[in-house]
Amino acid sequence: MGTLIGIAIILRWCIKDKMGVPVGDDMGHEYDGIRELNNDLPKWWSYLFIGTFFFAAIYLALYPGLGNYKGLLGWTSSDQTVTS
């Protein structure tokens, strides 16, 4: 659960533009002739990260993954049978 809270804090912190440089402008760094520009992350990347956060929260609510919490579905590994 602490990981989910940490991810939410990091996501919120990273979304803010703290550089003070307009989007698309040169950041003033150059490495091997490659200039660094102040560009946002692609939207699909941000949506996947947010989706992963929600998937993890729902998964932990449905299945046992938080210590003694049994999950909403009541699934246990002892209910599984070995068929080999």
HEC per residue, the chain:
CHHHHHHHHHHHHHHCCCCCCCCCCEEEEEECCEEEECCCCCHHHHHHHHHHHHHHHHHHHHCCCCCCCCCCCCCCHHHCCCCC
**Is the pLDDT confidence value at 1 over 70?**
yes
Q: Of 20-24, 26-30, 65-69, where does mean pLDDT reach its minimum?
A: 20-24
pLDDT band at 84 (very low <50, low <70, confident <90, very high): low
**Is the pLDDT confidence value at 17 over 70?**
no
Q: What's the pTM value of the predicted model, to 2 decimals? A: 0.59
Domain boundaries along the sequence of the chain: 2-74
The per-residue pLDDT for range 34-82, each reduced to its tens digit, is 888 777 778 898 889 889 888 988 998 898 887 888 888 888 777 677 7
